[in-house]
Amino acid sequence: MPLIQTDALIIGAGPAGLFQVFELGLREISAQVVDALPFAGGQCVELYGDKPIYDIPALPACTGRELTERLLEQIKPFATAFHFDQLVSHVARRADGRFDVRTKAGLQFDCGAIVLAAGVGAFVPRTLKLAGLEAFEGRQLFHHADRVPAAAIAGKHVVVSGATDQALAFATRLCAAIGRRAPEAPARVTLVHRRDVFDAEDGTVAEFRNACAAGALHFVAGQPTGLALDGDRLAALTLLDATGATVSLQADTVVVLQGLSPKLGPLADWGLALERRQVHVETAKFATSVPGIFAIGDVIHYPGKQRLILSAFHEATLAAAGVAGHLRPGDDGPLEYTTSSPRIHKLLGV
């Protein structure tokens, strides 16, 4: 794969990383963004996309998804390259003082500075541990509700695994299409979880139970134990049910929504000073213990740190000055108001 060169590489496309693009852009520092998730927004989209946030200045209420869309809109003038589905696994300093950054899937970056905006770590979906199942990833096996193609649903036997809010809401939503006899409707939807207790909001559980009671949705309490194949296709899951009996469940599509486990993982090996499993920073420039690596947002710790989006925006502003000073020594850039700076207006195309 070609080596991707950039001034700054931002690890994490949560609200901190997105606003970092803007602040770097104002300083004419080009940045690219890498995230392990398949979309931007970090916790705001993955954990509470449709719930309201009330403490973003000048935005009395907006959902996590809406905030992300607004941040993406704000950075449009900088035409930023995003690399999704890419877990950064390796960071090392090159002989020329720049950084060599690699992802697990094989992307390689050569960058002058890094801003770590990695939140609580890379969100890695909890998988269903069944030998051979991972071979169907992207064809018959999916780990993000938003990423299941219509063709994997329409007319198919869909098995949803999980007890999360997302799992119940997704299964219930699919059933609604059956009720409407919509062309995109699945043939049958079954939710599988080891017991009849769910880790979801009361309203979601109530809707799920209503759909089950109406016969539109099916629930099996059991533990998946194996697969049945039909040639090179996944045909069924075998489960050990609550009575200890083995049952077979036809499965054209398996959607595993068992939650995400944030993995600080590789970050712990990059030589950064950590404090309480968070990255230690100084708060003038949000510099880490490694010159050239800056860190902002939920991933950092300093006295008084508040894990709030508002705090991350402030941190991104100061980190941008730090990155500028690192890439162009002696040039911290004077403070310019976006209201009145012709240079900034040109950058923003306004």
CB 115 within 8 Å of CB 296 = yes
CB 65 within 8 Å of CB 134 = no
**DSSP for 92-131?**
EE-TTSSEEEEETTS-EEEEEEEEE--TTSEEEEPPP--T
Q: Which of 8, 10, 16, 324 binds ligand FAD (CB under 6 A)?
A: 16
Using CB under 6 A as the binding rule, whether residue 88 contacts ligand FAD is answered as yes
- Rounded CA-CA distance 87/341 in Å is 37
Q: Which is nearer to ligand FAD, 91 or 185 (CB)?
A: 91
Minimum Å gap between C-beta 6 and ligand FAD is: 15
CB 54 within 8 Å of CB 61 = yes
Q: Which is nearer to ligand FAD, 73 or 230 (CB)?
A: 73
Query: Using only C-alpha atoms, what is the Rg of the chain?
Result: 23
Using CB under 6 A as the binding rule, whether residue 67 contacts ligand FAD is answered as no
Using CB under 6 A as the binding rule, whether residue 25 contacts ligand FAD is answered as no
Using CB under 6 A as the binding rule, whether residue 122 contacts ligand FAD is answered as yes
- Rounded CA-CA distance 218/188 in Å is 8
- Rounded CA-CA distance 295/309 in Å is 14
Minimum Å gap between C-beta 176 and ligand FAD is: 25
Size of the site for ligand FAD (CB under 6 A): 36
Q: Which of 38, 50, 55, 90 binds ligand FAD (CB under 6 A)?
A: 55
Q: Beta 88-93 vs 99-103: how paired, if at all?
A: antiparallel
Instruction: Give the residue carrying structure tokens 């403070």.
Output: 335
Q: Which is nearer to ligand FAD, 229 or 310 (CB)?
A: 310
Q: Which of 8, 26, 29, 44 binds ligand FAD (CB under 6 A)?
A: 44
User: Up-side HSE of residue 3: CA atoms within 13 Å toward CB?
Assistant: 6
Q: Which of 29, 33, 87, 256 binds ligand FAD (CB under 6 A)?
A: 87
CB 111 within 8 Å of CB 65 = no
- Give residues 280-339 in contact with ligand FAD (rule: CB under 6 A): 297-298, 307-310, 312
- 100, 79, 90, 92: which is closest to 31 by C-alpha? 79
Q: Which of 34, 113, 237, 255 binds ligand FAD (CB under 6 A)?
A: 34
Instruction: Give the residue carrying structure tokens 């496309």.
Output: 13
Q: Which is nearer to ligand FAD, 259 or 333 (CB)?
A: 259
Contacts of 301 (CB under 8 A, 6+ apart): 275, 276, 278, 279, 280, 281
Using CB under 6 A as the binding rule, whether residue 174 contacts ligand FAD is answered as no
Minimum Å gap between C-beta 314 and ligand FAD is: 12
Minimum Å gap between C-beta 279 and ligand FAD is: 11
Using CB under 6 A as the binding rule, whether residue 9 contacts ligand FAD is answered as no
Q: Beta 218-230 vs 233-241: how paired, if at all?
A: antiparallel
Using CB under 6 A as the binding rule, whether residue 36 contacts ligand FAD is answered as yes
Q: Which residue is nearest to ligand FAD (CB)?
A: 119
CB 208 within 8 Å of CB 172 = yes
Using CB under 6 A as the binding rule, whether residue 146 contacts ligand FAD is answered as no
With contacts defined by CB under 6 A, name the span among 39-47, 186-194, 239-247, 283-291 that binds ligand FAD: 39-47
Using CB under 6 A as the binding rule, whether residue 49 contacts ligand FAD is answered as no
Binding residues for ligand FAD, rule: CB under 6 A, are 11-17, 34-37, 42-44, 47-48, 53, 55, 87-88, 117-123, 266-267, 297-298, 307-310, 312
